[in-house]
Structure 1
Amino acid sequence: MRLSELFVRLAAFAIAAVICVVGARFAVATVETRSVDAVQIALQENGHDFATVLGDGLQVILEGEAPTEANRFRAISTAGSMVDASRVIDNMTVKASEALQAPEFSMEILRNDSGVSLIGLIPAATDREALTARFAGLAGRDGNFADFLETADYETPLGWNDSVDFALRALRQLPRSKISVRAGRVSVEAISDSPEEKAAFENELRRITPQGQLVTLNIMAPRQVVSPFVTRFIKDADGARFDSCVADTPAAERRIVTAAQAAGIEGRVGCTVALGAPTARWADAVTMALEAVDELGGGTVTISDTEVTLVGQQGAVQGLFDRVAGELENTLPEAFALEAILPEAPVQGQDGPPQFVATLSPEGLVQLRGRVSDELLNTTAENFARAKFGSNDISMATRVSDGLPGTWPVRVLAGVEALSSLSNGSVTVQPDTIVVRGNSGVEDANGIISRLLVDKLGSSAEFEVNVTYVEALDPIAALPTEEECLDQITAVTAARKITFDPGSANIAGEGASIIDDIADILRRCSDLRLEIAGYTDSQGSEGGNQRLSQQRADAVLDALRVRRVPVSSFRSVGYGEENPIADNETEAGREANRRIEFTLIVPESTEEPTALEQIEAEAAAAEQTGDEATE
């Protein structure tokens, strides 16, 4: 009896144990499932879809690849908010981050009367001290220099050094400017004092632009002030043309050009946009005057400030002229006054009208001939010509004559002054007209001379200006390129040779005159990058020859500096007996090898090693040296 009770009790305990185990497992499974579901839902609601949730008993395991370390941390925090944080097991990985992109290096340079400022991001491999020293030198002793540059340790981009070098050279030319530098491209904004200076700046900057550089120029020039404000239009048997055309705005210029084309002018035509217009309705007055000349079929109209002078052609119908002149007078803007002239046919004697002729030859010879009213005018005209042309080479062939108009002295002196605006040509002065013909290196020479004659003789004066613009005479457009400068130097040194005293760097013989000729060329070639190379023959030691060639190259550089040639962009190099051009076994060959050569400096490659590459190269060299020492 007692034994059966024992077995019953043991069986009850066993059954209870099994039930407890099954219940515990069921409870754990239920907790695991609910924990996994709760964490998974929370992760999805918070945008952490990259994480997957696994259950291991009471533990919650997170797996997956997080985009960033921050996303991984947020996923763990989200899981910890749903179950006890001690139950969360992190098996997630973080996606490998991409290498950081190198920043775009850039530099802004500002220069004005106060000094120079630098701001931007430059490569750490840049020689900061040398760079800032070059720019600080442009600020002058009393100018301020501000350096706000930052550096980043990334590889120097291709074209960066060329861009910085061009920016420095441009800054030397531009006292009021802002220059933006990027690798391979430079943007220049500047202010010039005049249109001529603007053209000179643009021409020089284009000349020194390195190959492959993208350069954007925006150089502004103040509008010139024109006084008197003159537009003069002529239509005759030779066609329609402007002697002078000025406008106060670009819109006014377009209106005037359109009216001129409608009146018969052909080809390319433009007006000078300038300050000095007497009224905002300048374009209205000019277009009305051009339409009047076209309706007459020919004639001349001169608008000088607010005075309008309409001159009809000889033989024009009086009634038509009166009607057109009357309509113009009544439609002109209020500020303008009209003078209408219909000339009569001239009555001339057998000798024709009296003349005074002034000519200027291409060589600069000035000749004055023809009639003058008295000795005082003769002397005045000669002295005036000497003052205007800066020359004593004045040929006088004038004669005093009676019966000349009272305005003759003014017309003669105005003619001489008009001639001074030409490179070569002639001026013919007659009682009723002045004719100016010739060549000039100034594009607006016709307008300048017309305004001069109107100012001196009045708006009703009759004159003809026919001046041709010749680019070769333009001191700006005719500037030689670097290659042309080098060709000129090569031509000088090909025929003659710079010689030195034996064994020394003293320039001998006609070497000084050759350097004089080279200096004359270089003064016309501003900011030229030039290498002066010295060579010797093979006699003597190699080291001695190298030193002698360097001394001779330095001597030529110093000689050019003494002659006031800007040599800041030059370098002198002694190559010794390298690169012979003839046989050193003969005296003639050795003489040919002892030489000075001039070459253009080509910008060096911008592919410079980064600081890291330089350190690695030095470490590799040191390791190789150690290995060799061990062996």
Structure 2
Amino acid sequence: MRLSSLLIVFATFATAGLLSVVAASLSADLIENTSKEAVKRELSLAGQDWTEVHAEGLQVFLAGTAPTEADRFRAMTAAGRIVDAARVIDNMQVTATADIAPPRFSVEILRNDAGISLIGLIPENSDRDGILRSIRKLAGTQDVTDLLETAEYDAPIAWQESLNYAISALRDLPRSKISVEAGQVSITAMANSPEDRQELSAKLVRNSPSVVDVNLNISAPRPVITPFTLRFLIDENGSRFDACSADTDRARTRILTAARNAGLPAGRTDCTIGLGVPSPNWAAAVETAIDGLAELGHGSVTFSDADITLTAAMGTEQALFDRVVGELDSDLPDVFALTATLPEAPETDAEGTTPEFTATLSPEGLVALRGRLANEISRDTTESYAHAKFGSEQVYMAARLDETLPQSWPFRVMAGLDALAQLHHGKLLVTPESISVTGKTGDTETNARIAQILADKLSSTDNFSIDVLYVEELDPLAALPTVEECIADIQAFAKDNKITFEPGSGTLDASAADILDSIAVKISDCPEMQLEIQGHTDSQGRESMNQALSQTRAQSVLTALQDRRILTKGFVAKGYGESQPIADNETEEGREANRRIEFVLVTPEAGEATAEGDESEATATDAEATSEEQTAGAEAAPASEETAEETPAETTEAPAETETATTETASEAVDTGAEESDTGSEAEAETATTGQAEETAPVGEETTNDQN
């Protein structure tokens, strides 16, 4: 009985334990499934369906690849709303993302009378201090406001070229805004006059690097036109303007529309918008006059302020002429006064010829005056006036006297000479009925200026014609020099005006300042080019010392050009020592000729600059690559703070020349601070210290080398 009772008790406890285990297991599974489904449902509502959910006991594991780090965080937050956040285990991955793209680097440079401001983001390696030094030197006494920020990214392609060009251009732009990006510079500026605008635009385009796109918006104040002139004519060659002026854009549009209705060919026609209009009804008066001229068919109409001269073609019907003139008189706005002329057959003198005066201007500037003048006073006055206009050595007088000429003849001759002076070459013809100016010019505004001169100086009854052809080859801005022409000009100037140095030194002589000023001007007027500045010496002294001295002198010239704000990124200084003589070193004249600075163009095709007999390569586009050559025998001449960043080759200040010709003078060009070895080789002697140079340089060498 007792055993049976014990078995029953044991079986009861075993059954209870088993049931507890089963119940616990079922409860755990229920909790896991409930947590899993609840979390999955919450994740789905949060838009995180990519998440994989697993539950083990009270812990919930989240797996899968999140599109972004933000999505991973959102999934963790959503799961934490269902179960305790401490029970959520993060096994998620995040999709790999590309490297963050560098920011857009740009600089806005604003300049006005108050100062210069720089705003923008630049790469950290752009040498911010160097940029500010250049700007402050350019600004002079003006304030410079620095609002630049930097980012630790590499500079994009063409960034430095764009920035250097913008700073260089700022020199000529006292009122401007310059926007700089990598490979692109946009310039908005104000010029003093239309002529200055044209010249400035040409210079900015000419000096722009090939890797930089330049966008120009150069404006100029409206000119004051005195007298306010317009001249429109219709002849056998068609319709055209000799001069066109308007006071507003709307007036210009109205005038050009009327001219096109009268036969003016389609295309670009200049009509200057200026100040000085005699009446706000200018456009209406011009429209009316052009319409009347078109009805006549041939002739010209000239406005000089409020005076209008209408000249019909010879042979025009009198009835048509009278009707058109009558309608014009009644239709013209107030203020405007009309003078109409119907030319008659030219009168002849007693000899049966038509009196005339001619002035011929040759391409060389010589002026021949022929024909008839009224008297001695008129002839002397005309000759003196021509001397004043064309030069005292350029005038040939061959006019004869004729007292029967009209009283206005001298005034018409003077006005014609004024007009002729506007041409490159041409001819003036004065007759009793008209004045004719023909020729060629390199200025697109010449026709308008001649029309303005004649309309101002002639009476309203005087008829004149203008036939002036614009020739692009004569335009000083259109015919800009090529790189080859520029370098030939610089070489010729440097040959005639030798750059000199203090004896035995790389220091420029005082007389070299004006020469370098002129060379800097010539370079600034040239297109961008690759240039090697070569230094040469005579053969007196040690070869190593001559090599070092020539390098120092070439570098001094480069530094001097940089000090004059010349863009020298394509320039390199190289010394050739005594290796390339152009004269006999046995004579003083020959040695003087061999001591020289040369400017040599480096062509992209050749990739190297060579002088006569030289086989060494001089890469012009990378000064840093040649810095070892440049400093092989001497430290370079001192460079200013401002220009140091433009010349990668390291430069140090040359020792000062002593008062007497001692061995210290000879060592100036070779003092690099390195110790000379026992071998005494020339290569090692180039790096000898001053004291060691004194011990090893023979006195005869050092004394002669003072002249190198």
TM-score range, shorter chain: 0.7 to 0.9
Q: State whether structure 2 residue 537 is matched by structure 1 residue 543.
A: no
Show the 5 A alignment for 1:39-54. Answer: 39-54=39-54
Q: Which moved more, 1:594-603 or 1:480-489?
A: 594-603
TM-aligned CA deviation for residue 462 of structure 1: 0.5
Encode CA deviations 1:476-518: one digit per residue, 9 max, x unaligned: 3333233320133456789x896989996799xxx99xx7998
Structure-1 separation of matches of 2:103 and 2:558: 42
Give yes or no for the alignment of 1:453 onto 2:454. Answer: yes
Q: Tell me how far apart the structure 2 counterparts of residues 451 and 278 of structure 1 sit (CA, whole Å).
A: 15
Q: 1:447-480: CA deviations, max 9, x gaps?
A: 1111111111244420112222233433333332
- The match for 1:29 is 29
Instruction: Give the match for residue 598 of structure 1.
Output: 599
Look up the match of 2:174: 175
Does 42-51 or 124-133 show the bigger shift?
Answer: 42-51
Cα deviations by residue, 1:53-103 (Å, 9 ceiling, x for unpaired)? 211122222222334444434333322221233332232334444322111
In the superposition, relative to structure 1, how do residues 506 and 214 fare at CA in structure 2: closer, same or farther (>3 Å)?
closer
Map 1:121-136; keep pairs closer than 5 Å.
121-136=121-136
**1:466 to 2:462 alignment:** no
Counterpart of 1:161 in structure 2 is 160
Structure 2, gaps ≥5 residues long: 603-619, 626-708
CA 1:235–1:83 in structure 2 vs 1: closer, same or farther (change >3 Å)? closer
Asked if 1 retains the 8 angstrom alpha-carbon contact of 2:439 and 2:468, the reply is yes
Which residue number in structure 2 is paired with residue 244 of structure 1? 243
1:7-26 Cα deviation digits (max 9, x unpaired): 22222222222222222222
Task: Give the whole-Å Cα distance in 2 for the aligned partners of 1:367 and 1:556.
Answer: 48
Question: Could you tell me how far apart the structure 1 residues matched to 2:41 and 2:506 are?
Answer: 93
Checking the alignment, whether the CA contact within 8 Å between 2:558 and 2:572 is kept in structure 1 is yes
1:145 lines up with 2:144 in the alignment: yes
The aligned residue for residue 61 of structure 1 is 61
Distance in 2, Cα, partners of 1:129 & 1:517: 27
Q: Is the 8 A contact 2:534 2:574 kept in 1?
A: yes
Which structure 1 residue ranges, 5 or more long, are not aligned?
A: 608-631
Aligned pair count?
Answer: 597
Q: 1:583 to 1:418 in 2, by over 3 A?
A: closer
Cα distance, 1:493–1:147 mapped onto 2, change above 3 Å: closer
1:518-538 per-position Cα deviation (integer Å, ceiling 9, x unaligned):
859927836876542113578
Q: 1:551 offset after TM fit, Å? A: 5.3
Q: 2:231 maps to which residue?
A: 232
Q: Is the 8 Å Cα contact of residues 471 and 477 (structure 1) preserved in structure 2?
A: yes
Partner of 1:411: 412
1-structure distance, mates of 2:520, 2:399: 39
Question: 1:487 is matched with which residue?
Answer: 488
RMSD (Å) for aligned C-alpha atoms: 4.1
Which residue does the alignment assign to 1:442? 443
Pairwise CA distance, 1:583: 13
Aligned-partner Cα distance in 2 for 1:188–1:516: 29
Indicate if the aligned counterparts of 1:557 and 1:572 stay in contact, CA closer than 8 A.
yes
Contact residue 414 and residue 453 of structure 1 kept, 8 A: yes
Aligned counterparts of 1:583 and 1:336: Cα–Cα separation in 2: 76
Q: How many angstroms apart in 1 are the aligned matches of 2:40 and 2:595?
A: 88
Report what 2:4 is aligned to. 4
Distance 1:49 1:128 in 2: 50
> 1:301 touches 1:311 (CA, 8 Å); kept in 2?
yes
Q: Which residue of 2 aligns with 1:200?
A: 199
**Shift in CA distance, 519/230, structure 1 to aligned 2, threshold 3 Å:** same
> Identity, % of aligned pairs?
46
Q: Secondary structure at the match of 1:447?
A: helix
Amino acid at match of 2:435: I
**Which has the larger displacement, 251-260 or 445-454?**
251-260
Alignment-derived partner of residue 84 in structure 2: 84
TM-score, reference length from structure 1? 0.82
CA contact (8 A) 2:208 2:528 kept: no
SS in 2 for 1:135: helix
Q: Distance in 1 between matches of 2:485 and 2:360?
A: 33
Please identify, of 90-99 and 596-605, the stretch whose mean Cα deviation from structure 2 is larger. 596-605
Distance 2:136 2:341 in 1: 65
With the length of structure 2 as denominator, give the TM-score of the two structures: 0.73
Paired with 1:272 and 1:552, the residues of 2 have a C-alpha distance of 54
Cα distance change, pair 555–393 in 1 and its aligned pair in 2 (3 A): farther
Which is worse superposed, 167-176 or 575-584? 575-584
Q: C-alpha separation between the residues in 2 aligned to 1:396 and 1:387?
A: 14
3-state DSSP of counterpart to 1:82: coil
Contact 2:66/2:95 (8 A) holds in 1: yes
Would you say the 8 A contact 1:118–1:148 is kept in 2?
A: yes
**8 A Cα contact 1:249 1:273, kept in partner:** no
Question: Does residue 298 in structure 1 map to residue 316 in structure 2?
Answer: no
Structure 2 equivalent of residue 19 of structure 1: 19
State how far apart, in whole Å, the 1-side matches of 2:415 and 2:97 are: 81
The letter for the 2-side match of 1:233 is F
Residue type of the partner of 2:576? G
